[in-house]
Chain A
Amino acid sequence: MQERTNDGPPLTQPSGQIDHLAALYRQMFLIRRVEEESARAYALGKIGGFLHLYIGQEAVGVGAVAALRPDDYVITTYRDHGMALAKGMSARALMAELYGKATGCSKGLGGSMHLFDVEHNMLGGYGIVGGHIPLAAGVAFASKYRSDGRVTLCFFGEGAVSIGGFHEGLSLAALWKLPIVFVCENNEYAMGTPLSRTMSVEDVSMKALGYGIDRDRFFVDDVLEVEKRMAEAVSRARELSLPTLVEVRTYRFRGHSMSDPAKYRTPAELEDHKKRDPLTRARALLEQNGYGAERLAKLEAEVEAEVQDAVKFAEESPEPDPSLLAKTTYDGPFAA
């Protein structure tokens, strides 16, 4: 692993900022708790198939979305639970989708990798690695075409950087000067293979050079730092209509998916990363800066209630009706 280059700054925030940090902490904590509960439901067989947890990476999605306007677009990978919640999807709609229930955000027909929320301009999770990156360029093109002032944030892992879609998406965004930020969440492992075995150059942000676009690169310790760094790129997109490639170095605490015991890394490596958990750090900053134990406990209790409510909602919701399969995709219940 490379030397860490930005062991985050101390929090010296003006008053009011503490409440902002609390709001970001709340989101991160909600994501963590929703995912812990979903892992439990998976172990009980209530959620099936594939479940890719964001645990450990929450500060990326939360910090990045904090730098956006509510009407900006987010498009991401199959590891999409955190992003959907950060963008405003309810825990109920998410959990019901994981359970495959009719009340889920995609009516239970998609599952974990298919979190769409048109109200919040959450353009979904995508399961084919890198396949969504040219789509993101198209979304940003539409914004530029309509002059709607919106920015598109496109997330992907470092594993996506070797596939054609990544290069096609960056190529077009650079050529057309699109208002987009490409965010590579580099969590060091493409499924079970470390990046040293799949990439000739470890610094993903250098791919920006070939396309003549701006780049940034930093380690994720602190959610406020993520917000600040992302805000620069978002501003470049919004004010100048120029794309940026941002590589954030992060780490997932769980396996690639629930079926991956992650034996390809040592317990010591994992523990080392857990010591720098941005969630723990945000909580400590709140404590150190006088947010108050009572308010913190109340915030966490609220989140807990929200999570339990979502689980109950998912448990009690009905399955989709088999008649959904009777018609074809285009004359069925989702026809235009």
Chain B
Amino acid sequence: MERTLNMVQAINDALRTEMRRDPRVVVLGEDVGKVGGVFRVTQGLYEEFGEDRVVDTPLSEGGIIGAAIGMALYGLVPVPEIQFADFIFPGYDQIVSELAKIRWRSGGEYAAKVVIRTPVGGGIRGGLYHSQSPESLFIHVAGLKVVCPSNPYDAKGLLLASIRDPDPVLFFEPKRVYRAAKGEVPEEDYVVELGRAKVVRAAQGAGKAVTVVAWGAMLYEALAAAEQVKKDKGIECDVIDLRTLWPVDVETITESVKKTGRLVVVHEAPRTCGFGAELVSLVCERALMHLEAPPVRVTGFDTPFPYALEMEYLPLAHRIAPEIVKTAEF
């Protein structure tokens, strides 16, 4: 049966589904139990599954992630929540030094099946401690998978796939659309396979076209920009929702770029060494001779995330559309 849920409800539904199915799954984090999480993602889980499986922790990100790794080594399936992605750095050492490397350095004897859920990105005027998009800091660490859904259907299916994946996953939840993104979500158990992007808008006709790659909250901005350039200039876009950032579905992007010859990548994180740089490289390695214009990145700025000027800092449609036009008219 289908129902309309928002992202918060869909993620809650995924956690509930998996906790009912698999008694090894435990949730831990700050305020996740009795309070139900600051964004209410874990609401009701404490009541249904009890304090042994929905564990309130102190403010201790290194402790939360370290303990989760230990749980995973001996057969549990922990899904820790870090209250904001900006708070993950006290636990970064555990993620980089231990979580990402356990399988490799134990020669496959041990795996750390941990899914770290955390809200990410700007758009709530949260300032620099509550707005960052640190995905490339994790993608760069070999051994981690990184996921960022844009809508409730994918959020449920990707989270279930992440929890069932044998390896560690960073599951970034775009908080700007936590409640704004609504959609049909089946009550049944289903997965959205990791590592598969989705073409959510396809270029029509034989005119000039541009491939636009985005994920999370910025997908909606990319779609709005695509609509605008079609209306204003008749430019068509393939808009690709990456969904899984790593391992990345480079084939889907390359296939599109081979048709359009043009690439625009959108992300909230600062430009330098952002994931856009990697995507451009990957495409150039595979489709350089197909390019009609230099690939473009529309990103945050190389500054900390500002409190004022947020709508300038974010790569919203008003910043994306002119770049699509420039690329098309290059």
Residues of chain A touching chain B, judged by Cβ–Cβ distance below 8 Å, are 48-50, 78, 100-102, 108-114, 127-131, 159-165, 190-193, 197-199, 260, 264, 319-320, 322, 324-329, 332
Nearest CB to that of A326 among chain B residues? B301
Those of B82-102 within 8 Å (CB) of chain A: 86-87, 89-90
**Is the Cβ of B307 less than 8 Å from the Cβ of A114?**
yes
Cβ contact within 8 Å between B59 and A160: yes
**Interchain CA distance A161-B58 in the complex, whole Å:** 9
A325 touches B127 (CB 8 A): no
For residue A130, which residues in chain B have a CB less than 8 angstroms away from its CB?
A: 59, 90
Q: Which residue in chain B gives the minimum CB-CB distance to A130? A: B59
Known: A100-B308, A192-B31. A113 touches B129 (CB 8 A): yes
By size class, the interface of chain B is 35 or more
With A100-B308, A325-B309 known to touch, is A163 a contact of B56 (CB < 8 Å)? no
The interface residues of chain B, by DSSP majority, are classed as loop
Task: Specify which chain A residues have a CB less than 8 angstroms from the CB of B301 in the assembled complex.
Answer: 325-326, 328
Q: Which of A127, A159, A193, A327 contacts B35 (CB under 8 A)? A: A193
Residue of A nearest to B125 (CB): A48
User: Nearest 4 A-B pairs (CB), nearest first?
Assistant: A48-B125, A127-B129, A162-B58, A111-B307
Bound form: Cα–Cα A129–B89 in Å: 11
Q: Are A159 and B59 in contact (CB under 8 A)?
A: yes
Which label, helix, strand, loop or mixed, suits the secondary structure of the A interface? loop
- The reply to whether B130 and A162 contact each other, CB–CB distance below 8 Å, is no
User: What is the CB-to-nearest-CB distance from A68 to chain B, in angstroms, rounded to a whole number?
Assistant: 27
**Chain A min CB distance to B314 (Å):** 11
Question: How far apart are the CA atoms of A35 and B245 in the complex, in Å?
Answer: 42
Q: CB-nearest residue of chain B relative to A131?
A: B90
**A325/B303 contact (C-beta < 8 A), A109-B309, A163-B61 known:** yes
In the complex the two chains form, is B63's CB within 8 Å of A320's CB?
Answer: no
Contact assessment for B303 and A197 in the assembled complex, using a CB-CB cutoff below 8 Å: no
Q: Which residues of B contact A260 (CB under 8 A)?
A: 38
Residues of B within 8 A of A128 (CB): 86-87, 89-90, 129
Q: A130-B59, A197-B56 are in contact. Are A109 and B307 (CB under 8 A)?
A: yes
B322 to chain A, nearest CB (A): 15
Cα of A160 to Cα of B59 in the assembled complex, Å: 7
What are 11 residue pairs bridging A and B, where the CB atoms are less than 8 Å apart in the complex? Answer: A102-B308, A108-B308, A109-B308, A109-B309, A111-B307, A127-B127, A161-B58, A162-B58, A193-B30, A197-B34, A324-B303
Residues in B with CB closer than 8 Å to A111 are 125, 127, 307-308
Residue of A131, A162, A191 touching B63 (CB-CB under 8 A): A162
Answer yes or no: B313 CB below 8 A from chain A CBs: yes
Q: Is B202 an interface residue (CB 8 A)?
A: no
Q: Are A328 and B303 touching (Cβ within 8 A)?
A: yes
B128 contacts chain A at the CB level, 8 A cutoff:
yes
Chain B residue at smallest Cβ distance from A160: B59
- CA–CA, A111 to B307, complex, Å? 6
Question: Would you give the shortest CB distance from B172 to chain A, in whole angstroms?
Answer: 18
Whether A110 contacts B128 by the Cβ 8 Å rule is yes
Known: A100-B307, A190-B30, A260-B38. 20 other contacts (CB 8 A): A48-B307, A49-B130, A50-B127, A101-B308, A102-B308, A111-B308, A128-B89, A128-B129, A159-B59, A163-B61, A163-B63, A190-B31, A192-B35, A193-B31, A193-B35, A320-B309, A324-B309, A325-B306, A325-B312, A326-B301
Please judge, given known A-B contacts A192-B31, A193-B34, whether A325 and B313 are in contact too, CB under 8 Å: yes
Q: A198 vs B307: C-alpha distance in the bound complex, in angstroms?
A: 31
